[in-house]
Structure formats: structure tokens, C-alpha cells
Chain A
Amino acid sequence: MGLTGYLLLAAALFSLGVFGVVTRRNAIGVLASVELMANAVNLNLVAFSRHHAGPTGQVFALFSIALTVAEVVVGLALVLLLFRAKGDVRIELASELKD
């Protein structure tokens, strides 16, 4: 299967992630959707790596995975904080940006 197929698959996965990020109401659900988007990007990187010489694509995918892990850790810490402050993790409760 060629590069185009993988890229289209990644695009579809990314779009699903976008949908989740703007529609999920639970903060953890949003976080999971963000993971989908990050995963789509990794898939892109690996697919490109397969069609270009050199390890750079995979190296970047590894960096990206590690970064995503860090992001999840901090994100979940924020979710816990939100839970502690509001007693729920519905994301619209965090609307302090408004004021």
C-alpha cells in the first residue's frame, strides 16, 4: 500500500480527533481525542519515513510519542485539579477565560 493510503488514513483519524475535541464534554474524553490527533501525526511521520531514506521520520515519531506522554501526564494533572475545584470534569465548567 502506498504512501497516499496511509496519509489519507491519518487524515481521517485526525479529523475524528478534531470532532472529539470540540464535542466531548468530559475533559478526559477531550484528552483521549487529542491522543487520536497525535497518533494520526505519528502515523504520518512513520509513513513518510518509509518512503524517504533515513531514520529522521521515525526519530521524530519517537520524540512525538514521548512529548505526548508528557502532555497526557500534565493534562491529567489539570483534570484532577479541575475535579478538585469544581467537583466534576465537564470541560465547560472551566470557563474562567471568559472573565
Chain B
Amino acid sequence: MSPLYTALLCTFLPLAAALVLVLVSPLRRAGLAAGLFSVATALIAFGGAVTLLLERWSGAATPVRETVRWLPHAGLGGGAHARAVIELGVQIDGISATMLVVVTAVAACVQIFSLGYMAGEPKPDFGRYFTWQSLFLFSMNSLVVAPNLLQLFLGWELVGLVSYLLIGYWWSKPSAARAAMKAFWMTKLADMGLILALLVLFVDTGSFDWTVTTSAAGAVTLLLFFAVMGKSAQFPLHVWLPDAMEGPTPVSALLHAATMVAAGVFLVVRAFPLFEQAPTTGLVMAYVGAFTALFAAVIAVVQTDIKKVLAYSTCSQLGYMVAALGAGSQVGGFFHLTTHACFKALLFLAAGSIIHGVHSNELSHMGGLWSRMRVTSVAFLVGALALAGVPGLAGFFSKDLILEHVLERGLWAPLGALLVAAFLTAFYMGRVTLVALFGRPSAHAEHAHEGGVSLLAPLVVLAVPAAGVGWLGAKLSGLYAAPVHFHLSPVGMVATGLALAGLGLAYWMFGAPQGGGRLRAAFAPIGRLARSGAVNARFAWGYGVLGGVSSIFAWFDRYVIDGLMNGLGYATLALGARLRGLQTGRAQDYVYVLVAAMLGVGAYGAFWSR
């Protein structure tokens, strides 16, 4: 099969699955059968994506770009628009092939996981869930293979819609319905940036391609970045992401950790030629990204809900990616996206497995799971260490690459923020791991047990790339840029040292006297160092300050940032209530306004426009 048809298969097979599930309601209502059907199509799409990647891997294939004319030029005035043609199609190159594999692999794992995780749901709801999962896969893939910004925008809106649907999957729960609304409006607000960017770009160049040279690069990229801030949860538009955890945990793994939130980063990676023309936007991105990385990491330290920790962690890691792209490192941003997708999906699924076993999200309800849920615990540990940046695991490589680039550009403040964030990341992951897996078992955790094979298999499968994908960095980056060969840089060593220190601090704070014998022995030297008298008091004082700062940040986030956003919402509502008086509901009044407006346009066209 030619790459074009493989790509079309990857994209449209999930759409076909979603349509079948929508139209054939007996299948949808059959529950498990609907799930298996959806999983089968996801696996086929995954196979297709792997084929595409392997073709590129062997170095034989050149980038494929096939388009059809969709709309002829709009004929707006003359100049650049005269030749404008709006195209639809696919573009398969190293970036989209890699992203396709990431998306379909995580989606397949998540869907299989959901078979077990959602098993208790009523059958029609189960079918509905998988319909949306299939729809998501279609939306995300059509975003990934898009050859221009307009088509990417279509996929972008579709994933936003599916995100809304899936966050609000338990729609009868008020908090879930509210979270879904919030995510939707927040990202819609940001999407205004994308559509304005498209307009500016089109007016300036008559094209939606990201390869064009434009004189308005600054405006276009800043507007694009605004959209990215919403989608990829950058400060201060990040407030929807923690709330989005109201959705089922597999949804959080797929949409709100691995793929959909990464769409913003993917957009920048895609439109990198545009961003290269606007150095100022790069600076803004570096600072916003680094600040988000630090800010979210600080908040994650005091969260008590395991999903909230992971959600803020996702914010923080997305900040890393944005900062990397802002520092002009396409490879760094995209590579971190790849590795992050692997280990964060793993972490979320493992957390889902834990929640399934413990029936609670609260860290204090867990503890001692190492002995009760061994497979899940190992998977979670792998993910946590990969995220923390322990040498050899995935996160280590990509984080090092990013830091090196930020240093190279001489962005000292972002570099500092990112280094502190690296320390905090290791610390809060260490905290969660130690409390949940090795802490004193709570009453809830006494009877915790592993779920079925559909819960465990995806964990095992995802643990492999989470541990190993970092080693493929040179090859993966070689698919679309000059291969980046890994070498441990000084700044990387500092970061790794900070990460290990963070883990050590966590161990010293939360290291449990019971459980995890061998593992504890392995960590013992760090723990002993941390415990040794001299540093003891200072550490305690340090943690007090850290905890205080973290709580303040969390409070600030919850009430000030969130409140500001809500205030904006209420202001809009109030304005709407005022304007509502105009809306009488009478068709005649509407006709009146309609005719009057038509008259205005007609009069303008007939008398003033010449």
C-alpha cells in the first residue's frame, strides 16, 4: 500500500468505526462487542502507522505530500489571493509518522485498558465511550497528517469537541459537566487565536501553508501561541487541565496527558518554519513555558489527589516542551513530546489501575501497594523514574536535550526555572511513589488487588517505550532533522544531580519503614545522606518553605488565576443577560433585524463601496 493510502486508512478507519457505532445501535448497546470493535480498528490504525514509520526508518521513503483542491481561490481582491487554493490532503514525513505511531499506540493501549477499567459501566454508556474514543482517534490523526494549517485547525477543533465529550462522560455528575464546559470554553477562547492567525496568514500570503514566508510572522505566531497556551495548558490558560481529571482515568491518559494536550506542541513543531521567522515569539514561549514548568511543578508538590499530581505534572512537562521550542529546538520539543507521551500515558494508566484497585483517588487512601499490586507498582515506578529523569530512562534524554538548548541560547532565567522544575518533578514523583506504593497501607488499600489482564497488558506494553524510547533519540530526530546524538552535557549532569537529589529528599521525607525491602536498600545510601545530621534541620526548614510556597501557589492558582478566568466568564454572562433584552424570541423581530441588516449591506454595496 502506498503511504498515502496507509495514512488515509489510519485516519478514516477510526472514523468509520465511530460512524458504525453511532449508526448501528445494537452494536453500540452490546457493550463489550463495541469495545472490541473499536480496539480492533485502533490496532489496525496502529499497524498502519508503524508501517509508515518503518518506511521512514529504513531511510528509503521521501516525505509524501498529496493534496486535492478543496475550494478554489476565494477571489478576495487581487494580489496574493488571486492564486490561492485551499487544499486538503495528507503529509507524511518524519514528524507526522512519529506522531501517528505515538497517537495510535497510546490510543490502542488506552482502549484496551478501558475494556477492563470501564467494565462496570452500563452497556450503552460503554458503547458511547468507545464511539468517542474512535472519534478521537480520527480527529487526532487528521490533525497529525494535515498538510496545512487549515486542515490542522479542523482536527484541532474536533479533538477539542471529543475532549469535551469525554471529560463529561459522567455527565450526570455536576462537577464533571462543569469541568467539561470549562475545558471547552477555555480552549475555545484560545482557539480564537488560531483562527485569527489563519486569517492574518491568509490575508498576508494567500496560503495556509506553514512553509510560507510572511511579513506578519510575529502576529501570526503570537496568535498561534495563544491557541497553544489553551490547548497545551500553559499559564494562565492551564486551569482547565486539572479540572479535566473529572473524566475517566484512561481518558486523562490519552487526551489530557499523551496526545490531545500535546497537539499544541505539535502545532508549533509543525509550523516551526513560521516560528523561526519570529524570534520574539520564541522568547515569549521560552519564558511562558519555563514559568509554567516551574509553577505547575510547585503546585504538584502539595496535591493529594494522584490524578491532580499527574495533571499538574503534565502542565509542567508541556511547559518544558514549549520552552524548548521557544529556545529554537524543534527536535528537543518534539522528542520530549514523544517520550512524555510514553511515560505519562503509562503513569496515568498505572494510576488508573491503582484507582481501580483502591477505589479512591486520594493518596492518603493508598499505601503498601507494592506488595499487593506488583505489576502496576513496577509500571508506575518505571513511569515515575522516567519522568523524574533518572539516567537511562526516557525522560532523561529529552530533558537533557532541552536544557542544553536553553543553555545554548543563553536564556538564563528559563534555564533556572527548568532546573528547579526538574528537581521538583523528581521530588513530587518520589513522594507519590513512596506514599502510594510503599507507604503505610490505609484501610482502603488493605484489600487492593490487581485488575484483569486488559488492565495490566497495556501497562507492560507501555513500560517498554517509557524505559527505552530515549535511546532512539538520534534515529527519531534523524527522521526530520539533523540527527542529534546524545552526549551527557554539563547542564544535563546538573539536572540529573538535581533530580536524584529530589528523589533523595522525597525518600528522606516519605521513605517508609515498611514495605519495599530491596528497593529501599537500593535507595538507602541517598536516604542516609539525606538523614545525616548536619543537613537535617536545614532540609526540614527547606521543606517547610517549599510546602508553604507550594500551598500559596496552589491557592493562587485555585482562586486568583481560576477566579480571574471565572470572572471573565461571569462578565460575559452578565453582558449576555443585558443583551438578552434584545432577544425577544419573536420571529418577527428577528426578521426585522435581518431585513434591516440586509438593507445596510445592500446600501453599502450599492452606494458607498465604489
Touching in the complex, A and B, CB below 8 A?
yes
Question: Is the Cβ of A91 less than 8 Å from the Cβ of B584?
Answer: no
Q: Identify which of B585, B590, B592 gathers the most chain A CB atoms within 10 Å of its CB.
A: B585
Question: Is the Cβ of B592 less than 8 Å from the Cβ of A97?
Answer: no
Interface string of A63-74 (1 = CB under 8 A from B): 000000000000
Query: What is the chain B residue whose CB lies nearest that of A96?
Result: B585
Question: Is the Cβ of B591 less than 8 Å from the Cβ of A22?
Answer: yes
Known A18-B595, A98-B583: A91·B588 in contact at CB below 8 Å: yes
Question: Is the Cβ of B584 less than 8 Å from the Cβ of A98?
Answer: yes
Q: Identify which of B583, B587, B590 gathers the most chain A CB atoms within 10 Å of its CB.
A: B587
Cα–Cα, bound, A96→B583 (Å):
11
> Does A94 belong to the interface (CB within 8 Å)?
yes
Q: How far is the CB of A18 from chain B (nearest CB, A)?
A: 6
Cα–Cα, bound, A6→B559 (Å):
68
> Does A21 belong to the interface (CB within 8 Å)?
yes
Q: How far is the CB of B588 from chain A (nearest CB, A)?
A: 5
Q: How far is the CB of A92 from chain B (nearest CB, A)?
A: 5
> Does A30 belong to the interface (CB within 8 Å)?
yes
Chain A residues with CB under 8 Å of B592's CB are 22
Question: Is the Cβ of B586 less than 8 Å from the Cβ of A92?
Answer: yes
Question: Is the Cβ of B587 less than 8 Å from the Cβ of A97?
Answer: yes
Chain A residues with CB under 8 Å of B590's CB are 97
Q: Which label, helix, strand, loop or mixed, suits the secondary structure of the B interface?
A: helix
How many chain B residues sit at the interface, stated as a range, is 10 to 19
Chain A residues with CB under 8 Å of B586's CB are 91-92, 94-95, 97
Partner of A99, one of B585, B588, B589: B585
Cα–Cα, bound, A21→B588 (Å):
7
Chain A residues with CB under 8 Å of B591's CB are 21-22
Question: Is the Cβ of A91 less than 8 Å from the Cβ of B585?
Answer: no
Interface string of B561-601 (1 = CB under 8 A from A): 00000000000000000000001111111111001000000
Question: Is the Cβ of B584 less than 8 Å from the Cβ of A94?
Answer: no
Partner of B585, one of A21, A23, A30, A98: A98
Chain B residues with CB under 8 Å of A96's CB are 585
Chain B residues with CB under 8 Å of A91's CB are 586-588
Question: Is the Cβ of A30 less than 8 Å from the Cβ of B583?
Answer: no
Q: How far is the CB of A24 from chain B (nearest CB, A)?
A: 8
Chain B residues with CB under 8 Å of A98's CB are 583-585
Cα–Cα, bound, A18→B585 (Å):
19
Q: Identify which of B584, B588, B589 gathers the most chain A CB atoms within 10 Å of its CB.
A: B588
Question: Is the Cβ of B588 less than 8 Å from the Cβ of A95?
Answer: no
Chain A residues with CB under 8 Å of B585's CB are 95-99
Interface residues of A in 22-46 (CB under 8 A from B): 22-23, 30
Cα–Cα, bound, A18→B586 (Å):
16
Question: Is the Cβ of A30 less than 8 Å from the Cβ of B588?
Answer: yes
Interface residues of A in 47-77 (CB under 8 A from B): none
Cα–Cα, bound, A22→B585 (Å):
14
Q: How far is the CB of A4 from chain B (nearest CB, A)?
A: 16
Chain B residues with CB under 8 Å of A92's CB are 586, 588
Cα–Cα, bound, A55→B586 (Å):
40
Query: What is the chain A residue whose CB lies nearest that of B590?
Result: A97
Cα–Cα, bound, A62→B131 (Å):
47
Query: What is the chain A residue whose CB lies nearest that of B585?
Result: A98
Query: What is the chain A residue whose CB lies nearest that of B592?
Result: A22
Q: How far is the CB of A91 from chain B (nearest CB, A)?
A: 6
Q: How far is the CB of A23 from chain B (nearest CB, A)?
A: 8
Cα–Cα, bound, A95→B589 (Å):
11
Q: Identify which of A22, A95, A97, A99 gathers the most chain B CB atoms within 10 Å of its CB.
A: A22
Cα–Cα, bound, A18→B595 (Å):
8
Cα–Cα, bound, A47→B242 (Å):
66
Query: What is the chain B residue whose CB lies nearest that of A97?
Result: B585
Q: How far is the CB of B594 from chain A (nearest CB, A)?
A: 10
Interface residues of B in 331-346 (CB under 8 A from A): none
Interface string of B97-108 (1 = CB under 8 A from A): 000000000000
Q: How far is the CB of B602 from chain A (nearest CB, A)?
A: 12
Chain B residues with CB under 8 Å of A95's CB are 584-586
Q: Identify which of A30, A92, A96, A99 gathers the most chain B CB atoms within 10 Å of its CB.
A: A92
Question: Is the Cβ of B587 less than 8 Å from the Cβ of A94?
Answer: yes
Chain A residues with CB under 8 Å of B588's CB are 21-23, 30, 91-92
Q: How far is the CB of B593 from chain A (nearest CB, A)?
A: 10
Chain B residues with CB under 8 Å of A94's CB are 586-587
Cα–Cα, bound, A99→B585 (Å):
8
Q: How far is the CB of B548 from chain A (nearest CB, A)?
A: 49
Cα–Cα, bound, A95→B587 (Å):
7
Q: How far is the CB of A17 from chain B (nearest CB, A)?
A: 11
Cα–Cα, bound, A97→B584 (Å):
8
Chain A residues with CB under 8 Å of B583's CB are 97-98
Q: How far is the CB of B587 from chain A (nearest CB, A)?
A: 7
Cα–Cα, bound, A97→B592 (Å):
15
Show 17 residue pairs from A and B whose CB-CB distance is below 8 angstroms, ordered by the A residue: A22-B588, A22-B592, A22-B595, A23-B588, A91-B588, A92-B586, A92-B588, A95-B584, A95-B585, A95-B586, A96-B585, A97-B586, A97-B590, A98-B583, A98-B584, A98-B585, A99-B585
A97-B587, A97-B590 known; 6 new pairs, CB 8 Å cut-off, are A18-B595, A22-B588, A22-B592, A22-B595, A91-B586, A92-B586
The 6 closest A-B pairs by CB, nearest first: A98-B585, A95-B585, A97-B585, A22-B592, A92-B586, A22-B588
